[in-house]
């Protein structure tokens, strides 16, 4: 397991400052803003440090992405960067090819998945803070009851009367939680559509306050969903285990 | 440039192939056979000149039971605790190795690591290719089961190095097969590759589009293969012999080996005909054991083995978000897929007749040769995008795994994680990397421990070290770390849990060279000397800067330790240098902490918050 060669560029401003960023080519020192290859010597370049996943794929920061276009662009970029094509090149080029491809596959994995895409966009604006799972306030009471029922089920024996009743109650809980999750999804989709229209009409280099407020609301929904996912999973595995 | 070859290093048979113009071809040996049995036979002195490989070694299986090694692939990159009692009992040679140690095979008084045995097979394949091509072969693509973990891949790469081959890619077997089919037959669609080899089972789901072969998911079982089917027949023979002759097969290694070979023949025969006869001549004039076995009877005895391949297939489909109907073609790979009921099982699973136009024994090697040409730059319209079969995670508090890279992520791929210290002045941080799908560290496979060393002593939680875990195109983990405060690369020490450390591999490679040991010692000496010089410089500087922070006693013990280190350095004695380095470490601990807290205070006073 060898360490990978490390190469860092000079510090740059935030990705959304709208100014064009340049970097000297690591090989010929030509100063350019070329996304992928140096326009002077054609050597492969590191991704511009402060460009983000959306930019690499040539997209704006809309949340709806044409999956076919995404895949096509992913294939095009893979053909540009993949280590298979750099096997016979210099170690520097091989390293850049490896690191760029590693980032590219990660970017594709995230952009492909609508939820991961929103989460990534939030991270871009807020910095990499972990997102806490949080229970929706209006479900506090239900969740409290669910916890109790899960405990009861854990301590009850299969032949005991009442087990079936608890199971049935938990099944109802499961449905309720799933329905709430679906409702949150609808809400999330609506916000994403609104975000996109705000993004399309954006004429300033920075995101508007309204956009940021939208992201906050989406963040709230994601943290609710994170919590719901966990509770749904808990109910499912309890029902499975205590059959 | 010399030709890059493709090698299928199998559990039971190995092959080497190359591109003859635009056509991949398997290279045959003098006998006209393309398969080299993956068997190595040693003589009693372990004389390398007398070591036999392939068909010749197969001939020694019965006469030289304990010195003839087969199925070594099952032990690649594994430790003692990876094996069950049955695995160890099943082979007639001796496996040794303690807890958290790579396995070794003991032959007479000598120990061999599985990569060393594999290297002997690889060397034979290399020679075969060189004879056929008439030129030296130095680079190769070697295939492994898609479900191989990091240590098993690393062990395969080590074997290549030991054989004098630059392994330019570790390629997944089912992916290689898809490439061979893709070049010659399938140009577009979703294909499932069902690969049941001698010792391992893989299922891979791929999407082929415009020359790009994108693996969507992979799954498998690295301990399910044709060997297990043979074993069922052997068990049947054993029962009979116990009952009829009071002979325990498992106590007679030579007879057991013979039974295994007969079982393999019978299994193959049953793929062609509905009944076959087991014939085994018994020792000590006990006559000949005969028994008829029908295909039905055999199939019933291995039904559970076939069923074991179903789970991984369904999981792979689910991971790719597909239903069986979405798969446009199914391809069979591996000799074991010749069994008619395996074909039937696959057909039932995917609702379509599977392909087996290309020889299931050769197709992997052919694909490896194609990939070799892609890497040489001779083919540029095909591109493989493979995945990592297992999730990569880090151990966190309470032995819980925090997943960093999920399974089926396209490789190369990377994940980043931030680390800091828990104790004031802490200089090392240890990171435990595991592979697997389970929640708890103890249920996953330990890959390696990474030690971030030489962290500047600071109050707890202050250092910010960003560690990047990168899985390269071979599916092997690389780690680099960066100190975000200084922007410096942070050194990382790696201790692989199983398998050979880099140093061990180096040592084996140079074992035949006379000066191997001296070289190692020299390198270690230089390293420790460099370290000593750096420490002396830093300590002297710190002493100057922190004069007012130490009392006379402390000052004295530091200067004494410093003088002793210089003395050891002048004597060029690595052990003594190491000892004195540790001593300096102890006596300067408190000074370093005081200096640090002072610089933190100064920084705060100057409001240089950006530097904190």
Domain boundaries, chain A: 23-112, 137-241
Which residues on chain B are in Cβ contact (under 8 Å) with A84? Answer: 169, 374-375, 383-384, 473
Contact B411 A84 (CB under 8 A): no
Q: Which residue of A has its CA nearest to B495?
A: A1
Residue B502 has pLDDT above 70, yes or no: no
Size of interface A-B (CB pairs under 8 A): 86
Q: Which helix H or strand E contains B216, and what residues bound it?
A: strand B212-221
Average pLDDT over residues B244-272: 92
3-state SS string for B148-193:
CCHHHHHHHHHHHHHCCCEEEEEEEHHHHHHHHHHHHCCCCEEEEE
Give percent of chain B with pLDDT exceeding 90. Answer: 49
Residues of A with CB under 8 A from a CB of B: 1-4, 6, 8, 75, 78-79, 82-85, 87-88, 98-99, 101-103, 105-106, 108-109
Contact B383 A1 (CB under 8 A): no
Contact B478 A103 (CB under 8 A): no
Residue among B410, B478, B489 whose CB faces A105 most closely = B410
Residue B178 has pLDDT above 90, yes or no: yes
Dihedral of CA atoms B22, B25, B27, B30 in degrees, nearest 10, equals: -110
Superfamily of domain A23-112: DnaJ domain (1.10.287.110)
Render pLDDT for A89-105 as a digit per residue (tens, 0 to 9).
Answer: 999 999 999 999 998 99
CATH number of B392-502: 2.60.34.10
B450/B439 Cα distance (integer angstroms): 20
Q: Shortest CA distance to B360 belongs to which of B594, B163, B202, B126?
A: B202
Active centre residues of B (catalytic): 8, 73, 173, 195
Contact B377 A85 (CB under 8 A): yes
pLDDT in the model for residue A5? 29
Q: Give residue B495's pLDDT band: very low, low, confident or very high (50, 70, 90).
A: low
Which residues on chain A are in Cβ contact (under 8 Å) with B480? Answer: 3-4, 6
Residue B51 has pLDDT above 80, yes or no: yes
pLDDT in the model for residue B98? 73
**CATH tag for B5-224+309-385 (out of 3.40.350.10, 3.30.390.30, 3.50.50.60, 3.30.420.40):** 3.30.420.40
Contact B448 A1 (CB under 8 A): yes
- The alpha-carbon radius of gyration of chain B (Å, integer) is 28
Contact B415 A106 (CB under 8 A): yes
DSSP B108: T
Query: Are the C-beta atoms of residues B525 and B572 closer than 8 Å to each other?
Result: yes
The CA distance from A243 to the nearest CA of chain B, in Å, is: 22
Render pLDDT for A134-169 as a digit per residue (tens, 0 to 9).
Answer: 888 888 888 898 988 888 888 877 667 788 888 889
ipTM of the complex: 0.79
Residues 6+ apart with CB under 8 A from B172: B143, B144, B145, B146, B202, B204, B215, B218, B386, B475
The CA distance from A201 to the nearest CA of chain B, in Å, is: 34
Contact B415 A98 (CB under 8 A): no
Which residues on chain A are in Cβ contact (under 8 Å) with B492? Answer: 3
Render pLDDT for B397-418 as a digit per residue (tens, 0 to 9).
Answer: 778 888 889 999 999 998 888 8
Q: Any chain A CB within 8 A of the CB of B479?
A: yes
Render pLDDT for B443-470 as a digit per residue (tens, 0 to 9).
Answer: 888 888 888 888 888 888 888 888 888 9
Residues 6+ apart with CB under 8 A from A174: A232, A235, A236, A239
Lowest-confidence segment of A144-158, B19-33, B138-152 by average pLDDT: A144-158
Residue among A2, A6, A98 whose CB faces B412 most closely = A98
Average pLDDT over residues B287-291: 91
Q: Any chain A CB within 8 A of the CB of B384?
A: yes
**How far, rounded to the nearest angstrom, does the alpha carbon of residue B96 sit from its chain's CA centroid?**
19
Q: Which residue has the higher pLDDT, A157 or B560?
A: B560
Strand ranges (DSSP E) for chain A? 23-24, 31-32
Query: Are the C-beta atoms of residues B368 and B176 closer than 8 Å to each other?
Result: yes
Contact A102 B413 (CB under 8 A): yes
Q: Give residue B516's pLDDT band: very low, low, confident or very high (50, 70, 90).
A: very low
Which residues on chain B are in Cβ contact (under 8 Å) with A8? Answer: 482, 487
- Mean pLDDT, chain A, whole residue set: 82
pLDDT in the model for residue B120? 95
Q: Which residue of B has its CA nearest to A75?
A: B212
Render pLDDT for B71-87 as a digit per residue (tens, 0 to 9).
Answer: 999 999 988 888 887 77
The CATH T-level fold of domain B516-611 is Substrate Binding Domain Of Dnak; Chain:A; Domain 2 (1.20.1270)
Q: Give residue A126's pLDDT band: very low, low, confident or very high (50, 70, 90).
A: confident
Strand B139-144, strand B489-490: pairing: unpaired
Q: Any chain A CB within 8 A of the CB of B282?
A: no
Render pLDDT for B353-394 as a digit per residue (tens, 0 to 9).
Answer: 998 889 999 999 999 999 999 999 888 889 999 999 989 988
Q: Give residue B266's pLDDT band: very low, low, confident or very high (50, 70, 90).
A: very high
Which residues on chain B are in Cβ contact (under 8 Å) with A113? Answer: none
pLDDT in the model for residue A8? 30
Domain boundaries, chain B: 5-224+309-385, 226-305, 392-502, 516-611
Residue B17 has pLDDT above 70, yes or no: yes
Residue B333 has pLDDT above 70, yes or no: yes
Lowest-confidence segment of A110-114, B342-346, B542-546, B561-565 by average pLDDT: B542-546
B112/B120 Cα distance (integer angstroms): 11
Contact A83 B385 (CB under 8 A): no
Tokens of residue B353, six digits: 């007749």
Residue B515 has pLDDT above 50, yes or no: no
Average pLDDT over residues A159-188: 89
Which residues on chain A are in Cβ contact (under 8 Å) with B210? Answer: 75
**CATH tag for B226-305 (out of 3.40.50.620, 2.40.50.140, 3.90.640.10, 3.40.30.10):** 3.90.640.10
| CA angle, residues A142, A148, A151, in degrees to nearest 5 | 140
């Amino acid at each position: 397991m060898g360490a990978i060669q490390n190469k860092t560029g000079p510090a740059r401003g935030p990705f959304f400052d709208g100014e064009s960023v340049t970097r000297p080519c690591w090989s010929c020192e030509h100063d350019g803003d070329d996304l992928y290859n140096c326009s002077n010597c054609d050597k492969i370049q590191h991704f511009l440090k402060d460009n983000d996943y959306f930019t690499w794929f040539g997209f704006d920061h809309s949340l709806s992405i044409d999956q076919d276009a995404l895949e096509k662009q992913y294939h095009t970029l893979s053909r540009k960067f993949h280590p298979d094509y750099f096997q016979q090149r210099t170690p520097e080029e091989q390293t850049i090819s490896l690191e760029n491809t590693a980032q590219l596959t990660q970017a594709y994995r995230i952009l492909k998945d609508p939820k991961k895409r929103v989460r990534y966009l939030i991270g871009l604006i807020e910095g990499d803070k972990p997102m806490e799972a949080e229970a929706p306030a209006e479900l506090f009471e239900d969740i409290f009851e669910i916890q109790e029922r899960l405990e009861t089920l854990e301590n009850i024996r299969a032949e005991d009367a009442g087990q079936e009743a608890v199971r049935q109650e938990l099944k109802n809980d499961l449905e309720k939680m799933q329905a709430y999750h679906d409702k949150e999804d609808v809400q999330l989709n609506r916000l994403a559509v609104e975000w996109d229209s705000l993004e399309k009409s954006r004429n300033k280099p920075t995101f508007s306050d309204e956009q940021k407020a939208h992201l906050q609301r989406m963040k709230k929904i994601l943290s609710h969903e994170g919590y719901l996912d966990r509770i749904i999973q808990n109910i499912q595995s309890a029902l499975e285990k205590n059959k | 440039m010399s030709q890059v070859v493709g090698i299928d290093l199998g559990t039971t048979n190995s092959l080497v192939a190359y591109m003859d113009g635009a056509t991949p071809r398997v290279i045959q040996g003098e006998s006209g056979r393309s398969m080299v049995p993956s068997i190595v036979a040693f003589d009693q002195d372990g004389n390398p000149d007398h070591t036999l490989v392939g068909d010749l070694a197969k001939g020694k299986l019965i006469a030289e039971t304990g010195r003839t090694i087969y199925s070594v692939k099952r032990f690649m990159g594994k430790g003692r605790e990876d094996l069950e009692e049955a695995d160890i009992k099943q082979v007639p040679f001796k496996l040794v190795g303690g807890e958290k140690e790579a396995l070794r095979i003991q032959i007479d008084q000598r120990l061999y690591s599985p990569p060393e045995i594999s290297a002997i097979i690889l060397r034979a394949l290399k020679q075969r290719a060189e004879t056929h091509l008439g030129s030296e072969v130095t680079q190769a693509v070697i295939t492994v089961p898609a479900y191989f973990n990091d240590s098993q891949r690393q062990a395969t790469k080590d074997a290549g190095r030991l054989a004098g081959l630059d392994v330019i890619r570790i390629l997944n077997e089912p992916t290689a097969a898809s490439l061979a089919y893709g070049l010659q037959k399938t140009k577009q669609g979703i294909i499932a590759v069902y690969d049941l080899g001698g010792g391992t089972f893989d299922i891979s789901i791929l999407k082929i589009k415009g020359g790009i072969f994108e693996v969507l998911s992979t799954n498998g079982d690295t301990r399910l293969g044709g060997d297990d089917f043979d074993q069922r027949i052997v068990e049947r023979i054993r029962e009979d012999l116990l009952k009829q002759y009071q002979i325990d097969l498992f106590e007679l290694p030579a007879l057991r080996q013979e039974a295994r070979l007969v079982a393999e023949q019978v299994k193959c025969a049953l793929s062609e005909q509905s009944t076959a006869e087991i014939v085994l001549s018994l020792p000590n004039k006990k006559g000949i054991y005969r028994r008829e076995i029908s295909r039905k009877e055999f199939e019933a005895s291995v039904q559970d083995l076939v069923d074991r391949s179903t789970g991984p297939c369904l999981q792979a489909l689910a991971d790719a978000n597909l239903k069986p109907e979405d798969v446009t073609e199914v391809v069979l790979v591996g000799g074991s897929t010749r069994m008619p009921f395996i074909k039937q099982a696959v057909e039932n699973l995917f609702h379509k007749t599977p392909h087996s136009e290309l020889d299931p024994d050769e197709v992997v090697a052919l694909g490896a040769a194609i990939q070799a040409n892609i890497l040489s730059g001779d083919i540029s319209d095909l591109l493989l995008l493979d995945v990592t079969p297992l999730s990569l995670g880090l151990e966190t508090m309470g032995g819980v795994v925090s997943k960093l890279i999920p399974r089926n992520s396209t490789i190369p791929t990377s994940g980043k994680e931030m680390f800091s210290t828990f104790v004031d002045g802490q200089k090392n941080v240890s990171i435990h990397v595991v592979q697997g799908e389970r929640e708890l560290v103890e249920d996953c496979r330990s890959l390696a421990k990474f030690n971030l060393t030489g962290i500047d002593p600071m109050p707890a939680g202050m250092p910010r070290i960003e560690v990047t875990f990168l899985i390269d195109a071979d599916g092997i983990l690389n780690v680099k770390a960066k100190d975000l405060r200084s922007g410096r690369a942070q050194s990382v020490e790696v201790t692989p849990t199983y398998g050979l450390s880099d140093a061990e591999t180096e040592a084996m490679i140079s074992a035949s060279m006379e000066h191997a040991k001296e070289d190692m010692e020299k390198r270690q000496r230089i390293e420790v000397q460099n370290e000593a010089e750096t420490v002396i410089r830093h300590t002297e500087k710190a002493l100057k800067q922190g004069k007012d922070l130490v009392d006379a006693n402390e000052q004295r013990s530091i200067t004494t330790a410093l003088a002793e280190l210089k003395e050891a350095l002048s004597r060029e004695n690595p052990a003594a240098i190491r000892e004195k380095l540790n001593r300096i470490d102890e006596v300067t601990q408190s000074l370093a902490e005081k200096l640090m807290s002072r610089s933190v205070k100064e920084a705060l006073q100057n409001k240089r918050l950006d530097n904190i």
